Amino acid sequence: MTPANRLPAVVLLAALCGLAPPRALAGARRHGAAGRVLLDGQPTEVRWTDGDSFAVESGPLRGFGTRLTGYNALEAFGPVHRIGAMGPVALQAIATSTATLLAGSVWNCATKGKRDGYGRPLVACPDAAAAVVRAGHAMVYAIEVRPDPALLALQREAQSAKRGIWAGGVPPEIVTSLHSAGEKDLRGKPPHDRLVDTATGRTRRRRHRTRYRTCQEVCIGDGPARSCMVYVPFERRYRDRPACLGSAAGR
C-alpha cells in the first residue's frame, strides 16, 4: 500500500471527500505504454493501460485512471475474448498492441465532468477514437447516449475490410463485460452481462442469475456469429491471477 504522504493531492482530496479513487491509479501498476495527450489544452503525461483508458501521470488529475468515451477496446489483462473465428491469443495480441498504437501520437482530449461506474473521469479523445476504430482495434460503444455516426462509418469500413478484431467475422453482438451473481463488485445492480450491437454501437445489459466460475467462458451465438468472454473477477485480474490469464494454449 502506498504511504499516505506519497499519494497525489487529488487522491487525498478524493478520500477526504468520501469519493472512491479510481482503481487504476497512475503508478499502481506499470503495465501499458507511456505517452502524452493534450488534456483540456494542457500537455499531460499519461500511461495507456489499454486501448480505452489511460492513467494520468502529470497535471491536475495526476494519480487518476480515466475511461475514454464513444468506443470500447478489448480487455488487455489476458486472453479472454473470442469473436467469430478469432480466438483469445490473436485478440489479446490486438488488445495489448492498442495501447502502444495510441502512445505513438499526441491526442487532443477533454474531460467531460462525469465519472464512470468505477469512479474514473470520463474523457473524450475524438481523433484517438477514430484511429482505433478505423484500425479495427476497437468498437463503437454507447451507453445511454447516441452513438457517433462518424465512428459508425469508420467501423463499417473496418468490418468490411476485416481489419483487426473483425478478421474472423462480425457477430451481431459482442460480450464486453461479465458480472456474476454473488459478485462483490455489482454496486447494488443485479447480475448482468454487457453486450454491444456491432451495427449500431448501442449497448444493453443482459440480466441473469448465474454464478460464473473463475475462468468460465460465456458465449452468445454460434460460428461466425459467436462472441465469448472469459469471466475473471476484477480482484484476480492483476493479483492472484488464475492460470487462464497466463496462457491461452489449448483454448
Which pLDDT band, with edges at 50, 70 and 90, does 7 fall under?
A: very low
Asked if residue 1 belongs to a domain, the reply is no
CA 133 to centroid of chain Cα atoms: 13
For the record, the C-alpha cell of 239 comes out as: 493479483
Indicate the DSSP class of residue 24. Answer: S
- Return all residues near 144 (Cβ < 8 A) that are at least 6 apart: none
Of the ranges 3-12, 38-47, 78-87, 155-164, which one carries the lowest mean pLDDT score? 3-12
Asked if residue 3 belongs to a domain, the reply is no
Asked if residue 81 belongs to a domain, the reply is yes
Element (H, E) at 14: helix 9-16
Which pLDDT band, with edges at 50, 70 and 90, does 187 fall under?
A: confident
Asked if residue 251 belongs to a domain, the reply is no
* Residue 14, phi then psi, degrees to nearest 5: -60, -40
Write down the pLDDT at residue 112. Answer: 84
Asked if residue 119 belongs to a domain, the reply is yes
Write down the pLDDT at residue 8. Answer: 38
Which pLDDT band, with edges at 50, 70 and 90, does 113 fall under?
A: confident
Residues 131-147 have a mean pLDDT of 96
For 143-163, write each residue's pLDDT tens digit: 989 999 999 999 999 999 999
Q: Decide: helix, strand or coil at residue 99.
A: helix
**pLDDT of 44 higher than 60:** yes
Cα–Cα distance measured from residue 80 to residue 168, given in angstroms and rounded to the nearest whole number? 16
Q: Provide the domain count of the chain.
A: 1
Beta strand 33-39 with 107-115: parallel, antiparallel or unpaired?
Answer: parallel
Write down the pLDDT at residue 30. Answer: 58
Cα–Cα distance measured from residue 170 to residue 121, given in angstroms and rounded to the nearest whole number? 31
pTM: 0.84
Cα–Cα distance measured from residue 129 to residue 68, given in angstroms and rounded to the nearest whole number? 8
- Return all residues near 112 (Cβ < 8 A) that are at least 6 apart: 69, 121, 122, 123, 124
Asked if residue 69 belongs to a domain, the reply is yes
Asked if residue 100 belongs to a domain, the reply is yes
**pLDDT of 210 higher than 90:** yes
- According to DSSP, the residues that pair with 53 across neighbouring strands are 50
Q: CATH no. for residue 126?
A: 2.40.50.90
Which pLDDT band, with edges at 50, 70 and 90, does 189 fall under?
A: confident
Asked if residue 250 belongs to a domain, the reply is no
Residues 61-76 have a mean pLDDT of 96
* Residue 163, phi then psi, degrees to nearest 5: -85, 145
Q: Residue 145 sits in which domain range?
A: 9-245
Write down the pLDDT at residue 185. Answer: 74
- Looking at every residue in the chain, the average pLDDT score rounds to 87
Indicate the DSSP class of residue 163. Answer: -
**pLDDT of 132 higher than 80:** yes
17 CB-contact burial (10 Å; exposed 0-12 / middle 13-18 / buried 19+): exposed
For the record, the C-alpha cell of 171 comes out as: 457477430
Residue type, 78: G
Can you say whether residue 185 is alpha, beta or left, with left for phi > 0 and alpha for psi between -120 and 50 degrees? alpha
Residues 177-201 have a mean pLDDT of 92
Which pLDDT band, with edges at 50, 70 and 90, does 50 fall under?
A: very high
